[in-house]
Structure 1
């Protein structure tokens, strides 16, 4: 492929050189290009990024997917360059690269919300994550979710409520989750307010289920013996689950239905305990009843919910008289 030595297209908003396998050197950015938001270099043979990329002051999305020759580790200061040059970067895609360590300095990328290091089969350690990262994919790597550092980073993200959806290698619910149970469902009781919940699910592939998969995460509550779905998250075309175990971590709060049903508001105002059920379904696109969910867990965010108003066992004694959900 023949490329110009320099680029000075100040009106350019999107630049894609994807799958230009003969591209080894990226052209110099000769002038500030504030309008360029998305640069896709996936599948190229580039070994490094020129310092002139600091002229991409408005860059928001950078894809380096499958850039096997990119010298991310070693002498190339890629991660130190990111916060210095790209103050507006919100998405970084390093999927299927030769990354071995995600360094702690990436925490300085304060605008980074989406980070994808999945399928980086040499990735052995994650030392940091930006505090504002809401979506993080790290499946098919050598890093396990229960490693001490990653466990700490996961807990920090959950406590700060920045987490939206994380996808990681793992075989069990972290021990510091408030409650976990085997299977694809669990129940809890709450009162006064909806609890701020983060769910975690352990998935495993069955031999008779072929990708892509479909995952559905629902939260039902019972009012007068009637089940009402108040939160629903659906993820189609999931292809990242492995036989070795995989976990999804999801903040349920953004998926609550608003406005609330009048019956729900009345039930909350009575201060009676209300039953809630978390249900996960996982299967193929053709048959979504095929179960591969091994464990499910829940963490209650103390910044928004009081543990006095949440129970994981039946909250009433046998001698109590009450009408549930009224």
Structure 2
């Protein structure tokens, strides 16, 4: 092959008798695509490669390949490296020279025992697919190496970073492996640990400053969550029935104190006392004056396997102010065929309510008060029933919001029942079935 220096594409897919790829292949300067998929007898690859023009290299289902070549020079053009379902037992630390790599796919490499830390320093890597790598147990680091830290201005601005995914679902994931790995994932935005055998989510997850979505669905041995990253917005723990009550309480507290979290789901039927019981109705009403307060609503629903039948559902919050309707917020709940609820679950949603300018212009207040109604609609037009609601104050004047019709006579001392003091809350709870719990979160200096 050294006699073909201008070769750009070499596709040898499904060459069942191919045993060896000659070293000369590793030095073709103009080679862009090297595909050896389904070469099931292939055992010998070049000892090293330096392919400056290479864009794609794929060895999918090369089930007898055990060693991957050393990278002998910086490769800036490579975008995709696929090693799915091979017998490779280790990757060289020099894989860090694949500086152009965008997607690394190593799923179902069950003989792969360790990952070099240089993978997580690749500047353009957006996706690492390592699901079903059941042998992973170690991170190979250079002597004295410690994970890099993010600049302080980036820690609080994760949304400006590249969208990066790491999929480690269906892996064993020992505690020591995860505790070492997570600090290297500070640029990652999505991590999937679904169907893995983890028992403890280490506190080193706090180092994942950019992490916004973490799923641990069907991790049936997961007992303890020791922390959550600062910018997390979505956390799924469907069917994680071994979670301790302390971990569940921590998730609730994080939802209440961290206004950035939008979605948490985990097994359970017990709802804290400060989530007041209310009848299962299709709408939640309240009255406000001056302007619609900026509220964050946390909907708590006890969900069973029969509550959701579709594998992908879209939900819309409809906000109706004095009969003027607006679809205010859309969110999605998705899962696979095997990811159905085995037991009751609690779903926490944090939704910001902001009416459109057009709606504000059409609002007609009566006696200074406007009636607002909130509905949660499933795709197809079916309205979901509210279970329990927690409303967190967020820079609003509490006397300007009521959860009972201001025209209802409550007694001489409490003609206007607001939620700004304990006695008002007690009266509200006694006089209406649509009870809510209002808690003020004081901002620290």
TM-score, normalisation: structure 1: 0.76
Structure 1 segment 108-257 matched on structure 2, within 5 A: 108-144=207-243, 147-177=245-275, 179-183=276-280, 185-191=282-288, 192-200=291-299, 201-206=301-306, 210-212=309-311, 214-223=313-322, 226-235=323-332, 237-239=334-336, 240-253=339-352, 256=354
Contact 2:265–2:346, Cα closer than 8 Å, also in 1: yes
Aligned partners of 1:308 and 1:62: how far apart in 2? Answer: 51
Secondary structure at the aligned position of 2:206 is classed as: helix
**Residues 1:75 and 1:195: Cα distance change in structure 2 (over 3 Å):** closer
Partner of 1:65: 131
The higher radius of gyration belongs to 2
Contact 2:175–2:200, Cα closer than 8 Å, also in 1: no
**Residues 1:195 and 1:257: Cα distance change in structure 2 (over 3 Å):** closer
* Structure 1 spans left out of the alignment, 5+ residues: 322-326
**Residues 1:312 and 1:142: Cα distance change in structure 2 (over 3 Å):** same
Contact 1:218–1:232, Cα closer than 8 Å, also in 2: yes
1:195 is displaced (CA, Å) by 3.2
The reply to whether residue 302 of structure 1 matches residue 393 of structure 2 is yes
The reply to whether residue 44 of structure 1 matches residue 96 of structure 2 is no
Which of the pair is proportionally richer in strand?
Answer: 1
The reply to whether residue 5 of structure 1 matches residue 69 of structure 2 is yes
Tell me which moved more, 64-73 or 114-123.
64-73
Secondary structure at the aligned position of 2:114 is classed as: coil
Per-residue CA deviations over 1:120-175 (Å, capped at 9, x if unaligned) read: 2221211111010112111122345x822332233224432111222322224444
Partner of 2:93: 28
TM-score, normalisation: structure 2: 0.58
Tell me which of the two structures has the higher relative contact order, counting C-alpha pairs closer than 8 angstroms and 6 or more residues apart.
Answer: 1
RMSD: 3.6
**Residues 1:128 and 1:105: Cα distance change in structure 2 (over 3 Å):** same
Contact 2:90–2:113, Cα closer than 8 Å, also in 1: yes
1:306 is displaced (CA, Å) by 4.5
* Structure 2 spans left out of the alignment, 5+ residues: 1-61, 138-172, 417-445
